[in-house]
Chains A and B, each alone.
Chain A
Amino acid sequence: MADSDEPMVVEGGAGDGEWEGRWNHIQKFLERPGPFTHPDFEASSEALSGFHNIHVVDMDTIDLSNLNRQFLFRLKDVGQPKAEVAADFINTRIPGCCVVPHFKKIQDFDETFYRQFHIIVCGLDSVIARRWMNGMLLSLLVYEDGVVDPSSIIPLIDGGTEGFKGNARVILPGITACIDCTLELYPPQINFPMCTIASMPRLPEHCVEYVRMLLWPKDKPFGDTVGLDGDDPEHIKWVYQRSLERAAEFSITGVTYRLTQGVVKRIIPAVASTNAVIAAACATEVFKIASSAYAPLNNYMVFNDVDGLYTYTFEAERKDNCSACSQVPLDMRFSSSSTLQEVLDYLTESSYLQMKSPAITASVEGKNKTLYLQTVASIEQRTRPNLSKTLKELGLADGQELAVADVTTPQTMLFRLSFTS
């Protein structure tokens, strides 16, 4: 987004990519006062005429299966980075627009990057990524005497879809409910039990999971170090054949190539229409917030057009003890004879934390001590014995603060240990 100090002015004349009447439709909302406008709104002819500077971050490349809905891409673009092709298309189609692409993961950038923006809009494909972005914007908040400095707030508009269902939400970090406040709205993915996959398949999906999880690592069909690549048709073909064999063994019908690919890649069906609806709703919110023309969505809308069209709009509430946005270190209650493994299980299994591979650090006798860290093999090995030790044995005291780092949040989370016995 452009520098906040300078309002963007409508400029006339054909020379600079403008033409007469270009802003007619939008001007009515920016230049005319009205009964429903936001109290902060000031109608004027010197107003935003379009979003001139937009940055796009996307780590993906274009796939053929994207073309049924991702309208900025064409057949010739398959294989190219999405961010770059999208930027190109828009900059060509919309004169004066300057989209800057970044063929990167959102986690490749730090706070100096994100701080420059007025608004962040997300169309991410995982809860982890959402939580990370959520955490990043929370980490930018500046507090003065326990009150948030409004100029440090960067609104986050988040949209997501699955088939014919979708949702759009507005998050004002530090003010409204954040992603983690409503983690229960994203229930964890359910995987099939291992015994079903290994010895008691009943559904075609079980057969595919057997091949993916057990047979592939055993047979290593494309080489010792070659992992299953859901995007490689040869790999899927191999899985499909073996799944058919597995299914035949148990008289299970229904294994198809499409089903196989769907299970391996965890494919979620998608259409142009639902994405258009949610993207439009998000864009409307961006417009409202950027122009102050109307009060933004407060703060969550769900959409479903399986049967007629259904929307439900509600205010998701902040959680006082939210793992991400509440300022207070979270309470953690364990008996002093509980093991570190139990603490680890709590961090990964509790529905409101849902961490992936947390690293736990504590300050013991004035020194920072890594109690357990999974993501670096050598440290994992060294700290693994700690998992079976009790909290007392590890030298932890009642009221002690534990720092936990995890891929779900860019900032370390603080917990306060309370011994129950």
Chain B
Amino acid sequence: MAATKASKEQKYDRQLRLWGDHGQEVLENAHVCLINATASGTEILKNLVLPGIGAFTIIDGHTVLGEDVGNNFFLSQNSIGRNRAQAATELLQELNSDVSGNFVEESADQLLDNDPEFFHRFSIVIGVQLSESTRLRLGSVLWAVGVPFLVCWTYGLMGYMRLVVKEHTVIESHPDNALEDLRLDRPFSELTDHIQSYQLESMEKKDHSHTPWIVIIAKFLETWLTEHDGQPPKNYKEKEAFRQMIREGILKKENGVREDEENFEEAVKNVNTALNPTKVPSSVEDLFNSEQCTNITSQSAAFWVMLRAVKEFVLHEGKGCLPARGTIPDMISDSQRFINLQNVYRDKALQDAAAVAKHVESLLQTTGKTPETLSEKDIKLFCKNAAFLRVVHCRSLAEEYAVESVNKDEITSCMDSPDSEMVLYLMLRSVDRFYQQHSRYPGVYNYQVEEDISKLKLCVTSLLQEYNLNVSIKDDYIHEFCRYGAAEPHTVAAFLGGAAAQEVIKMVSHQFVPFNNTFIYNAMSQTSATYQL
């Protein structure tokens, strides 16, 4: 047992550094469903099996054809004639023995007819190369029970993804460039006390040169505030003057030349960010004002309970500030001074988290939930990420497709550039229409290419008319989409495979932020776009 755990830690080491042991645990408890083991489908699953997803189930009623083996790495020549779900499961399973692979030799439509509740068990359903009607049927079943649905489609040199989920909360969004939470504009009492313990003027050179820049800025800010009626430096001119003040604080040698004090250089460099006003980000304010936060019930998810607790904290103990994050960036300093300063922030964060925990407790009490549902660890993690919380709401497919609610504005404005990725989306919707009418996709056989162009054009026109979209689509795209013949080239499927798998991992782990809600990849130009449709 211990050996397996250790070897799993080694095997997954490179990804544990991204989503942590807790992220990995959630992944290993997830069960994903793939509909259709085409090249796109197996490529997506490959990138879920390798990192150790708990289980997968492939639903596919198709029999493997020669052309399937030609573009699918997870089918071989002796798969021909067998059920595609079964054949693919075998070759995917052997990628990782930690994963449990299953298959159902039926089509999604059959399952929807006979046992729609079969889909309720999954953490997420991935539907690949689906017809419009199957897509909409699935979409409606999954929307009703809150199971996230990821639609993927490789069509010629185009990749398409659509995420369908009513509400998805993210505590650990891991933003790339987060602003530090230094509180220099509104220092808490412990910080003020700590700053006060420094007397820069009377420090020896060694200590002076190794005082953290946070302390330096805080000290000079105090002086500035008394000289400027309590107003911090606001514009460029004032900030420059403030920087100059700090420079003047650099020790001078006997001959009047300035010493080399890198910590003071750091302080000067960090003036701008240090003076950023501490405030609750508007995105978090919006969350505070949302319905889910305002009305906490016994059904409320942990995310909303903790958010409400943080909101209460902000209104009371926090005096308008979020709980302190508790971290500071590294900076030139001797060890002792840095650790002491760091501890001031850390202790404040612990204090604030404890206050938030009290609010959580009282919320749980009033809604009749047991306090064990939210651990101290959960609350600390939530507080640490309070400024980065994200909630994603994707519209349902029904909303996207209905004439009354189609996102006309987005489509029309994107089509101002007639070669934007939006044209590929409209072509895909037109191809859907073609399939509805002709029970096949355009241009699959060579002899069909020419004659299907005019048929596809009719579909394009009717689509634009139905949605009252005043845009024009170049004939070249209609020709190109007939040329594609609904082909699924492996390299495009593989791109989508990587992109989609990561979105699935985001959904399952609730770490990092998923896209909202339509992603288009153009392999011809190697460009992409995301639209909220």
Check A301/B335 contact, CB under 8 A, given A274-B502, A307-B513, A308-B513: no
Residues from chain A with Cβ under 8 Å of B505 in the complex? 273
Q: How far is the CB of A169 from chain B (nearest CB, A)?
A: 10
1/0 contact string of B259-280 vs chain A (CB within 8 Å): 0000000000000000000000
* Interchain CB contact under 8 A, A294 and B527: no
1/0 contact string of B489-525 vs chain A (CB within 8 Å): 1111011011101110100000011111001010111
Say whether A413 faces chain B, with CB atoms less than 8 Å apart.
Answer: no
Q: How far is the CB of B469 from chain A (nearest CB, A)?
A: 22
* Interchain CB contact under 8 A, A65 and B11: yes
Check A32/B175 contact, CB under 8 A, given A68-B12, A276-B501, A309-B515: no
Residues from chain A with Cβ under 8 Å of B483 in the complex? 28, 32-34
* Interchain CB contact under 8 A, A19 and B76: no
Minimal Cβ-Cβ distance residue in B for A63:
B10
Minimal Cβ-Cβ distance residue in B for A311:
B528
* Interchain CB contact under 8 A, B156 and A28: yes
Residues from chain B with Cβ under 8 Å of A26 in the complex? 70-71, 487, 489-490
1/0 contact string of B74-97 vs chain A (CB within 8 Å): 001100100000000000001111
* Interchain CB contact under 8 A, A271 and B502: yes
Say whether A36 faces chain B, with CB atoms less than 8 Å apart.
Answer: yes
User: What interface size band does chain B fall in?
Assistant: 35 or more
Residues from chain B with Cβ under 8 Å of A250 in the complex? 335-336, 339
Q: How far is the CB of A8 from chain B (nearest CB, A)?
A: 15
Residues from chain B with Cβ under 8 Å of A203 in the complex? 330
Question: Which of B43-51, B302-310, B459-467 lies at the interface with chain A?
Answer: B43-51
Say whether A191 faces chain B, with CB atoms less than 8 Å apart.
Answer: no
Residues from chain A with Cβ under 8 Å of B76 in the complex? 93
Q: How far is the CB of B355 from chain A (nearest CB, A)?
A: 23
Q: How far is the CB of B455 from chain A (nearest CB, A)?
A: 17
Within 146-183 of B, Cβ neighbours of A (below 8 Å) are at 156-157, 173-176
Residues from chain A with Cβ under 8 Å of B333 in the complex? 200, 202
Say whether A216 faces chain B, with CB atoms less than 8 Å apart.
Answer: no
* Interchain CB contact under 8 A, A258 and B70: no
* Interchain CB contact under 8 A, A272 and B65: no
* Interchain CB contact under 8 A, A64 and B67: no
1/0 contact string of A258-285 vs chain B (CB within 8 Å): 1001100001111111111111110111
Within 289-316 of A, Cβ neighbours of B (below 8 Å) are at 294, 297, 301, 305-311, 313
User: What interface size band does chain A fall in?
Assistant: 35 or more
* Interchain CB contact under 8 A, B46 and A24: no
Residues from chain A with Cβ under 8 Å of B96 in the complex? 67
* Interchain CB contact under 8 A, B495 and A280: yes
Picked from B475, B489, B498, B519, the residue with its CB within 8 Å of the CB of A276 is B498
1/0 contact string of B465-489 vs chain A (CB within 8 Å): 0000000000110011001110111
Check A163/B498 contact, CB under 8 A, given A250-B335, A276-B46, A280-B492: no
Picked from B50, B335, B480, the residue with its CB within 8 Å of the CB of A68 is B50
Residues from chain A with Cβ under 8 Å of B39 in the complex? 25
Question: Which of B15-23, B121-129, B318-326 lies at the interface with chain A?
Answer: B15-23
Picked from B17, B50, B332, the residue with its CB within 8 Å of the CB of A258 is B17
Say whether A382 faces chain B, with CB atoms less than 8 Å apart.
Answer: no
Say whether A95 faces chain B, with CB atoms less than 8 Å apart.
Answer: yes
Minimal Cβ-Cβ distance residue in A for B335:
A250
Say whether B526 faces chain A, with CB atoms less than 8 Å apart.
Answer: yes
Picked from A25, A35, A65, the residue with its CB within 8 Å of the CB of B490 is A25
Say whether B66 faces chain A, with CB atoms less than 8 Å apart.
Answer: yes
Minimal Cβ-Cβ distance residue in B for A23:
B70
* Interchain CB contact under 8 A, B499 and A305: yes
Say whether B69 faces chain A, with CB atoms less than 8 Å apart.
Answer: yes
Picked from A20, A32, A277, A279, the residue with its CB within 8 Å of the CB of B66 is A20
* Interchain CB contact under 8 A, B479 and A35: yes
Residues from chain A with Cβ under 8 Å of B435 in the complex? none
Say whether A179 faces chain B, with CB atoms less than 8 Å apart.
Answer: no
Say whether A419 faces chain B, with CB atoms less than 8 Å apart.
Answer: no
Residues from chain B with Cβ under 8 Å of A272 in the complex? 46-47, 50-51, 498, 501
Residues from chain B with Cβ under 8 Å of A21 in the complex? 65-67, 70
* Interchain CB contact under 8 A, B489 and A29: yes
Say whether B234 faces chain A, with CB atoms less than 8 Å apart.
Answer: no
* Interchain CB contact under 8 A, A305 and B502: yes
Residues from chain A with Cβ under 8 Å of B330 in the complex? 202-203
Picked from B66, B94, B339, B526, the residue with its CB within 8 Å of the CB of A202 is B339
Say whether A342 faces chain B, with CB atoms less than 8 Å apart.
Answer: no
Residues from chain B with Cβ under 8 Å of A301 in the complex? 526-527
* Interchain CB contact under 8 A, A309 and B176: no
Picked from B11, B485, B495, the residue with its CB within 8 Å of the CB of A28 is B485
Q: Bound complex: CA of A283 vs CA of B71, how far in Å?
A: 13
* Interchain CB contact under 8 A, A202 and B335: yes
Say whether B252 faces chain A, with CB atoms less than 8 Å apart.
Answer: no
* Interchain CB contact under 8 A, A34 and B479: yes
Residues from chain B with Cβ under 8 Å of A104 in the complex? none
Say whether A71 faces chain B, with CB atoms less than 8 Å apart.
Answer: yes
Check A311/B14 contact, CB under 8 A, given A164-B502, A277-B498: no
Picked from B94, B157, B498, the residue with its CB within 8 Å of the CB of A273 is B498
Q: Bound complex: CA of A25 vs CA of B66, how far in Å?
A: 11
Say whether A22 faces chain B, with CB atoms less than 8 Å apart.
Answer: yes
Minimal Cβ-Cβ distance residue in B for A69:
B50
Say whether A252 faces chain B, with CB atoms less than 8 Å apart.
Answer: yes
* Interchain CB contact under 8 A, B526 and A306: no
Say whether B73 faces chain A, with CB atoms less than 8 Å apart.
Answer: yes
Residues from chain A with Cβ under 8 Å of B97 in the complex? 75
Q: Give the interface centre of A25, A71, A306 by most chain B CB atoms within 10 Å.
A: A25
Residues from chain A with Cβ under 8 Å of B530 in the complex? 308-309
Q: How far is the CB of B209 from chain A (nearest CB, A)?
A: 11
Within 44-65 of B, Cβ neighbours of A (below 8 Å) are at 46-47, 50-52, 65
* Interchain CB contact under 8 A, B210 and A200: yes
1/0 contact string of A155-197 vs chain B (CB within 8 Å): 0000000011000100000000000000000000000000010
Residues from chain B with Cβ under 8 Å of A74 in the complex? 94
Say whether A135 faces chain B, with CB atoms less than 8 Å apart.
Answer: no
Given contacts A164-B502, A276-B498, A294-B157, 13 further A-B contacts (CB under 8 A): A23-B70, A25-B39, A36-B524, A71-B50, A267-B13, A268-B14, A271-B51, A276-B501, A280-B495, A284-B523, A309-B503, A309-B530, A311-B521
Please, could you name 25 A-B residue pairs with CB atoms under 8 Å apart, sorted by A? A25-B67, A29-B487, A32-B449, A36-B480, A67-B11, A68-B14, A164-B18, A164-B512, A201-B335, A202-B333, A202-B338, A250-B335, A270-B15, A271-B51, A273-B499, A276-B497, A276-B501, A280-B495, A280-B498, A284-B523, A284-B526, A305-B512, A306-B174, A306-B175, A308-B514
CB-CB nearest 9 A-B residue pairs: A276-B498, A21-B66, A277-B498, A280-B494, A24-B67, A21-B67, A280-B495, A35-B476, A308-B515
